[in-house]
Amino acid sequence: MQRRITLAAAIATATLVLTGCSAVDQLSEPNASESAGGTVTILTHDSFVITDEQIAAFEDQSGYQLQTTAPGDAGVVVNQLVLAGDAPTVDGVYGVENFSAQTLVDAGVLASYTSPNLPESANELMIDDLLTPIDQGQVCVNIDHAWFTENGMPEPETLEDLAQPEYAELLVTTNPATSSPGLAFLVATVTEQGEDWEDYWQQLLDGGTKVASGWSDAYYVDFSGAEGQGAYPLVLSYSSSPAEADGATGVLEASCTPQVEYAGVVEGAANPEGAQAFIDFMLAEEFQTSLPENMYMYPVDDATALPEAWAEHATLVDDPIQPDLAEVAAQRENWIETWTDLFENGAG
């Protein structure tokens, strides 16, 4: 059954959930600021992963206790910050992607901060001294090779192939109003299909494409090539996902588009220094090195070594779809609204 979740419903039902809180007592470290102390609260998407060891390391180094809240995917995170306005309940945010970043900038809910740990390779990704790049990757449709082999069916090769009835019913994507990869895929299809993008999506939806609210459900529950062994051999995911499947899956290269995830300090936060310290921590070598294993994203520091399996199974596509980010900033809400109308009223 499709989850018909509107943007308003996603906002109304989102609940802050405590996902990371270290039980390790704060230690008095020589390199921790004497003024540091108390709790720093970071709003994240629900795919954020930080280990107990990393939490302990951050708390020991900074003098702050870390608490994270994860209401849902990146779209919900953005909506919550905008709704909170000048009465924030968190100190910092992580997981805002490049196609939603301008929404937060325009809303005035972020405070300026540039980390001393920002690598030179990521300078051009910084947004207005407000959003710091933490990781990067590409959003792509993933393919379960074994399913197509077993069913004697050729794999799709183009975006146009996906809209054909025989492939549309095999695809599970995610809601662009609540999911960052879903938004990236919507933007990519608008970029490639131009004025025909609504017709393209009508073909997908009428053809039986499933829309999940978030990436985790789509990949781990619905996708046949993941641990859930679901019913859909095509799923919207990332270029890095085949590394997890040890090469049993691949990507539809014609569908790939870049994604950058950002962190920022919230304007009016109770503990902005704590949020700054956490951004510094995420840009440090230890955390950057852990990104491929923990979150299947690439570090923003080009000098960071990648796991060997990534070189074989998780290489980035050389010629991804490159949306015009200025156009995305201007049209994002209109595209989501139009897509939502199609989803709620037009799917057969």
Domain boundaries, the chain: 7-136+259-312, 138-258+314-346
Residue linked to tokens 């906002």: 11
Mean pLDDT score, 245-269: 95
Mean pLDDT score, 281-295: 94
Q: What is the pLDDT of residue 24?
A: 31
pLDDT band at 329 (very low <50, low <70, confident <90, very high): confident
Summary mean pLDDT of the chain: 87
Q: What is the pLDDT of residue 175?
A: 95
Q: Which residue has the higher pLDDT, 284 or 214?
A: 284
pLDDT band at 147 (very low <50, low <70, confident <90, very high): very high
CATH superfamily of 138-258+314-346: Periplasmic binding protein-like II (3.40.190.10)
Which pLDDT tens digit goes with each residue over 6-43? Answer: 333 333 333 333 333 333 333 333 344 344 579 999 99
What's the CA gap between 29 and 320, in Å, rounded?
Answer: 45
Q: What is the pLDDT of residue 346?
A: 62
Which pLDDT tens digit goes with each residue over 61-92? Answer: 999 999 999 998 777 899 999 999 999 999 99
Q: Which residue has the higher pLDDT, 121 or 190?
A: 190
The answer to whether residues 182 and 236 touch, using CB atoms and an 8 Å cutoff, is yes
Q: In the chain, what's the furthest Cα-to-Cα distance?
A: 66
Q: Is the pLDDT reported for residue 288 higher than 90?
A: yes
**Closest by Cα among 99, 105, 125, 96 to 185:** 99
Q: Check if 7-136+259-312 and 138-258+314-346 are the same fold.
A: yes
Q: Is the pLDDT reported for residue 4 higher than 50?
A: no
Q: Is the pLDDT reported for residue 296 higher than 90?
A: no
Q: What is the pLDDT of residue 19?
A: 35
Q: What is the pLDDT of residue 143?
A: 97
What's the CA gap between 134 and 217, in Å, rounded?
Answer: 24
pLDDT band at 122 (very low <50, low <70, confident <90, very high): very high
Q: What is the pLDDT of residue 192?
A: 97
Mean pLDDT score, 132-153: 96
Mean pLDDT score, 118-129: 94
Mean pLDDT score, 233-238: 96
CA-atom Rg of the chain in angstroms: 20
**Closest by Cα among 11, 80, 10, 85 to 42:** 80
Mean pLDDT lowest among 1-5, 19-23, 126-130 = 1-5
Mean pLDDT lowest among 12-21, 103-112, 194-203, 320-329 = 12-21
CATH superfamily of 7-136+259-312: Periplasmic binding protein-like II (3.40.190.10)
Q: What is the pLDDT of residue 36?
A: 59
The two structure tokens encoding residue 183: 């938004």
pLDDT band at 209 (very low <50, low <70, confident <90, very high): very high
The two structure tokens encoding residue 238: 């990332």
